[in-house]
Amino acid sequence: MLDSILFYSFSFLAVISGVSVITARNPVHSVFYLVSAFLSASLLLIVLGVEFLPIVFMIVYVGAIAILFLFVVMMLNIKLVEILDNSTRYAPIGFIIGFLFFTTIISILDQEILSWDVSDEFYSSTRAIAPSLNAVNMASVIYTNHFTSFIIASLVLLVAMIGAILLTIFHEKSIKRQDIFAQVSRDLSTVKLVN
């Protein structure tokens, strides 16, 4: 009973936070609502009995991505007039996409799925894997069944990281750069002490 109350309260908080992210007028408030949505999603995973994914959500999404969004929003100093002008322009296409999304969800969730008792099958399947940890189960699935997908995703992230580094490097001759190797390998007889 307590699990269902916690589940529905955290899911309601996640939905309200998600709606507030896109309806907030201030971008800083929108980022804070995004942090609230991430936290409620991780609390939902804790209620479901998953111990590894909520910690990853907290570290990666709340600790890195949301704070990065907050710093970018604060550094860009976006004017609220520009946001309001741009958001009203895309409202009709947003309503169309939202309508298609909700009709798809309603068509998928028919009466058989809604009347299906998830709790009995969920607890019976988790009892079979209860002696081992959830992180161990995820690692065994990722590194055995989905090994190639994991390697391809890591290569894509590596290429993206190298591309971001190369785009930020400036090679102008007017900029003075420090050459560590030349400084360390300098002969002491060429160094002159100045008082």
Q: Which amino acid is at 49?
A: G
Closest residue by Cα to residue 75 from 35, 31, 33, 37 = 31
- What percent of the chain has pLDDT above 70? 76
Domains and CATH numbers, the chain: 1-89 (1.20.120.1200)
Q: Give the amino acid at 127.
A: R
What's the mean per-residue pLDDT of the chain? 76
Q: How confident is the model at residue 110 (pLDDT cuts 50, 70, 90)?
A: low
Per-residue pLDDT of 135-182, as tens digits, reads 777 788 888 888 888 899 889 989 988 887 777 776 666 667 777 877
Q: What is the three-class DSSP state of 4?
A: helix
d(Cα 100, Cα 110) in Å, to the nearest integer?
A: 17
Percent above pLDDT 90 for the chain: 7
CA 115 to CA 117: how far, in whole Å?
Answer: 6
Residue type, 97: I
Q: How far apart are CA 15 and CA 48, in angstroms?
A: 17
Angle between helices 2-23 and 27-47 (to 10 degrees): 160
pLDDT interval class at 31 (50, 70, 90)? confident
For the segment 65-81, the average pLDDT, to the nearest whole number, is 69
**CA–CA distance, 138 with 34 (Å, rounded to integer):** 26
